[in-house]
Amino acid sequence: MLEFFDSLHTDVGIDLGTANTLICLKHQGIALQEPSVVAVDDRTGKVLAVGKAAKQMVGRTPQGISTVRPLRHGVIADFELAAVMLRRLLRQALQKRSFVRSRAVISVPCGVTNVERRAVIDAALEAGVKEAYLLEEPLAAALGAGLPIKEATGLMVVNLGGGTTEVAVISLGQIVFSRTLRLGGAEMDDALVRAIKKKYNLLIGEQMAETIKLEIGTLRKTTPSAVMEIRGRDLLTGLPQSRLLDQNQVREALLEPVRSIVETIRGTLEQMPSEMAADVLDRGIVLTGGAALLRDLDWVLTRETGLTVVVAENALGCVALGTGRAAENMNLFHKGHRPAGSK
C-alpha cells in the first residue's frame, strides 16, 4: 500500500526565478518551464492566469486586471501570489500525481536574508509541498552543468538570471565565496526601453524589448548590421508608431548593464587566493542562466578578463537541473539541515 502512495508523488527541484520558473522531476528532467507572471483581478484579488497565459496579457489588460511578477531580483516580492503561482505550476508539472507529500529543493540567490529565505520556504509549504530545502543558485547551476564540484579545485560559475547575476567560486562541493549583483536579463530589457525612448521618443513594452534582445541583441559590432522593425507608442503624438532599429544601436544599449557584470566578475577574481586563481586560469569561467544566451557575451567576458569563457549546454535549464539532481539525493539535506517548517 505504501508503494502505491509513493507512486503518486515525486520529489522535485524548482528554479523559482524572476523571469521564469522551471520544475525538474526527480529522475525525469525538466517537466515545466513557464514565465513567472500572474494575472490578477484587482477587485477580488482572484488569480486569473499564471505562466504563459498571464505573460500574453502583459501590456494588454483592461482596467481592473493587473499582471504581476511575484519575484524581483530573485526573491519573493508578493508572497500570496508566489504561493498561488507555485501551486498551479506544480499541479501542471506533476499532472495527476499528488504533490502534497512531495519534497522540494528550491534555488535561491546567494546572500539573501533569512527573511527572504524563509519567504521561499513558506511559499513552497503554502503551495502544498511536504518539505522544502534551499540550494544556492550558483551551486545548483554548477550541478546542472555537470561540473566536478566535489573536487579540490576552484571552479568559477557566473549565473545570469532574470533579476540577478551571481559570480561564485566553488570547491569541495561548497561555495568558497561569491558576489551577487541585482541585475539580470530584466535590466537588459529596461536598458533597451530607455535607449529607444531617448533616441526615438518611442515607448516600447516589456515584451517588445525582450523580443529585440532575443532576435538582434549582440555585444559585437556587426557589418552589415541587422535591422528590425519595432512598434510602440510615439510619446509626442500619443499614436502607435513603428521604427527600424539597427543591431549596433541595440549593442550600445546593452553594453551599459554588461559593464556592471564585467566589474562584478573582475572584483571576484581580484579577491581569489592565488591557488584558486590558478585553477580558474586553467578551467576558465562557465556561464549559466537565460541571460548567458545573449550573443557574444562570452566573447566580451573573454576579452575583458583574459580567461576562457564558455556558455554551459542548456544554460537556461542548469539551475533547475541542479535542483533536480539535488532532489535525487535528499539524504544530503538531512545531514545538518532540518526540513523546512519543522520546529
Q: Are residues 22 and 162 in the same domain?
A: no
156 inside domain: yes
Q: Looking at residue 342, what is its pLDDT?
A: 39
25 inside domain: yes
80 inside domain: yes
Q: Are residues 174 and 219 in the same domain?
A: no
Q: Residue 201: which region, alpha, beta or left (left: phi > 0; alpha: psi -120 to 50)?
A: left
Q: In whole angstroms, what is the distance from residue 129 CA to residue 123 CA?
A: 9
CATH number for the domain harbouring residue 267:
3.30.420.40
Name which of 43-47, 126-130, 253-257 the model is least confident about. 126-130
Amino acid at 38: V
Split at pLDDT 50, 70, 90, the class of 337 is very low
Tell which of 200, 230, 253 closes a domain: 253
Contact (CB, 8 A) for 157 and 236: no
CA neighbor of 14 nearest in space, from 112, 75, 89, 101? 89
Q: Looking at residue 98, what is its pLDDT?
A: 59
Q: Are residues 196 and 293 in the same domain?
A: no
Q: Are residues 171 and 193 in the same domain?
A: no
CA end-to-end span of the chain, whole Å? 29
34 inside domain: yes
DSSP per-residue codes, 238-260: -SEEEEEEEHHHHHHHHHHHHHH
271 inside domain: yes
Split at pLDDT 50, 70, 90, the class of 339 is very low
Domain enclosing residue 37, as ranges: 2-137+319-334
What pTM was computed for the model? 0.91
230-235: average pLDDT: 97
339 inside domain: no
Q: Are residues 53 and 104 in the same domain?
A: yes
Q: What is the pLDDT of residues 71-127, one digit of tens each?
A: 999 999 999 999 999 999 999 998 866 555 789 999 999 988 999 999 999 999 999
Q: What is the pLDDT of residues 138-196, one digit of tens each?
A: 999 999 999 999 999 999 999 999 999 999 999 999 999 899 999 999 999 999 999 99
Q: Are residues 130 and 208 in the same domain?
A: no
CATH number for the domain harbouring residue 191:
3.90.640.10
- Split into its structural domains, the chain has a count of 3
Mean residue pLDDT across the chain: 91
Q: Are residues 89 and 108 in the same domain?
A: yes
